[in-house]
Amino acid sequence: MIRSGGAGGAAGSAGGDKPTLAVVGATGAVGTVMLSILSERADIWGEIRLIASPRSAGRKLTVRGEQVEVVALSEEAFEGVDVAMFDVPDEVSAQWAPIAASKGAVVVDNSGAFRMDPDVPLVVPEVNAHAARVRPRGIIANPNCTTLSMIVAMGALHAEFGLSELIVSSYQAVSGAGKEGIDTLREQLTLVAGTELGTQPGDVRRAVGDTGPFPAPMALNVVPFAGSLKEDGWSSEELKVRNESRKILGLPELRVAATCVRVPVITTHSLAVHARFENEVTVEAAHEILAGAPGVVLCDDPAEGEFPTPADAVGTDPTWVGRVRRSLDDPKALELFVCGDNLRKGAALNTAQIAEVVAAELAAGAAAR
């Protein structure tokens, strides 16, 4: 292990030359993708410790081709951990991330518990990697999956044109609601397959019965509500897109309006974006920026049927961008369509990238001592 102190400086001594990583929530939808991402990326970690609820203790999961036993979440589970990724519900992170930080780990948290805390940086390495270095609580937050699915592309366009407004409609996959969301859609698809359902009011709703974590049937449907209800009719997901985009881009006054819609896609969120800038834009310039932006793939040739879709983008790392058009009524605005795997860049990949930034910083600190 390498020690520098989670909350910015306390800490112990080196025991090995590769940092120890903990994955908290290793059994969940994000955790499962995290284990495959950790198996694919450069092997910078020493021990990788897998943590979940007591329900999963003793289960064996595969990471880096090896079987590793899951341990139950406890204070002792963080002994000797340099970096702890949290892929657990908000309330579990809220309680346990500060405990992990107090044990000396740098926490990278995927939940919504700390994202808007002014003492917790909200980091997307392609956009604001520098922010990860200042972490008074020893915690770095990972943005929500809807924001993450578009922000790399928007950050690149902002750097060139200066973003002033975002109007976003999302088409969100059911895996954004975790394993329960995936199971619910798969069960509903089995119930409606091969039937004539979807032709009479309420016939799908009656056939599927329990709608699981969603407020309406997901099979053969679109549902204009994701998250929980907040003030004035906005959903929590819609407010996250606004607040998190502002924080990541460092634009506290950015005008943002989002409508978040759940669609019957297993994994990969899509967003239709109207982006207004300080300066006039052209499709050619936007194409050039997007084609050269790290983490972005431009896929924009509708005459050839080339545009991003979730079915093509799922399981891949980049943000896919297509349908780039200049607004007919506003020379400062672009319309575009974006797809990003909500479990990869939208969650696990971004967390892994942040953890790698931290590991490099810890290694540099250890080398300088």
Ligand X SMILES: NC(=O)c1ccc[n+]([C@@H]2O[C@H](COP(=O)([O-])OP(=O)(O)OC[C@H]3O[C@@H](n4cnc5c(N)ncnc54)[C@H](OP(=O)(O)O)[C@@H]3O)[C@@H](O)[C@H]2O)c1
Q: Which active-site residues does the annotation give?
A: 145, 269
Task: Please give the DSSP secondary-structure letter assigned to residue 7.
Answer: T
Position 131 contacts ligand X (CB under 6 A):
no
Cβ atoms of residues 265 and 173 within 8 Å: yes
Q: How far is the CB of 338 from ligand X (least distance, A)?
A: 15
Q: Which is nearer to ligand X, 111 or 243 (CB)?
A: 111
Task: Please give the DSSP secondary-structure letter assigned to residue 105.
Answer: P
Per-residue interface string for the shown chain with ligand X, residues 151-170, x marking contact by CB under 6 A: --------------------
Geometric angle at alpha carbon 335, from 248 and 329, rounded to 5°: 120
Residues 6+ apart with CB under 8 A from 196: none
* Of residues 179, 220, 184, the one with CA closest to residue 200: 220
Cβ atoms of residues 171 and 261 within 8 Å: yes
Position 30 contacts ligand X (CB under 6 A):
yes
Contact stretch for ligand X (CB under 6 A) within 22-30, 211-219, 235-243, 289-297 = 22-30
Position 90 contacts ligand X (CB under 6 A):
yes
Cβ atoms of residues 273 and 171 within 8 Å: no
CA dist 20 and 54 (Å) reads 22
Position 141 contacts ligand X (CB under 6 A):
no
CB neighbourhood size of 79 (10 A):
14
| Chosen residue from 4, 56, 235, 270 binding ligand X by CB under 6 A | 56
* Of residues 143, 106, 139, 105, the one with CA closest to residue 126: 143
Per-residue interface string for the shown chain with ligand X, residues 345-364, x marking contact by CB under 6 A: -xx-----------------
Position 37 contacts ligand X (CB under 6 A):
no
* Of residues 125, 154, 109, 362, the one with CA closest to residue 258: 154
Overall size of the chain counted in residues: 369
| Chosen residue from 20, 111, 243, 319 binding ligand X by CB under 6 A | 111
Q: Which is nearer to ligand X, 73 or 338 (CB)?
A: 73
Per-residue interface string for the shown chain with ligand X, residues 67-86, x marking contact by CB under 6 A: ------x-------------
* Of residues 325, 316, 232, the one with CA closest to residue 268: 316
| Chosen residue from 131, 192, 286, 343 binding ligand X by CB under 6 A | 343
Residue 131 is labelled as binding a ligand: no
Residue 206 is labelled as binding a ligand: no
Residue 93 is labelled as binding a ligand: no
| Chosen residue from 6, 31, 217, 227 binding ligand X by CB under 6 A | 31
β-strand pairing of 269-277 with 163-172 = antiparallel
Position 178 contacts ligand X (CB under 6 A):
yes
* Of residues 318, 200, 214, the one with CA closest to residue 261: 214
Helix orientation angle between 29-40 and 178-192, rounded to the nearest 10 degrees: 110
**Secondary structure (H, E, C), 208-247:** HCCCCCCCCCCCCCCECCCCCECHHHCEHHHHHHHHHHHH
| Chosen residue from 2, 29, 127, 156 binding ligand X by CB under 6 A | 29
Residue 172 is labelled as binding a ligand: yes
Contact stretch for ligand X (CB under 6 A) within 41-49, 172-180, 227-235, 254-262 = 172-180
| Chosen residue from 23, 88, 248, 324 binding ligand X by CB under 6 A | 88
To which H or E segment does residue 48 belong?
Answer: strand 48-52
Q: Which residues are annotated as a binding site for NADP(+)?
A: 27-30, 55-56, 175-176, 342
Q: Which residues are annotated as a binding site for phosphate?
A: 115
Q: Which residues are annotated as a binding site?
A: 27-30, 55-56, 115, 172, 175-176, 262, 342
* Binding interface with ligand X (CB under 6 A): 25-31, 52-53, 55-56, 73, 87-90, 92, 110-112, 144-145, 175-176, 178-179, 342-343, 346-347
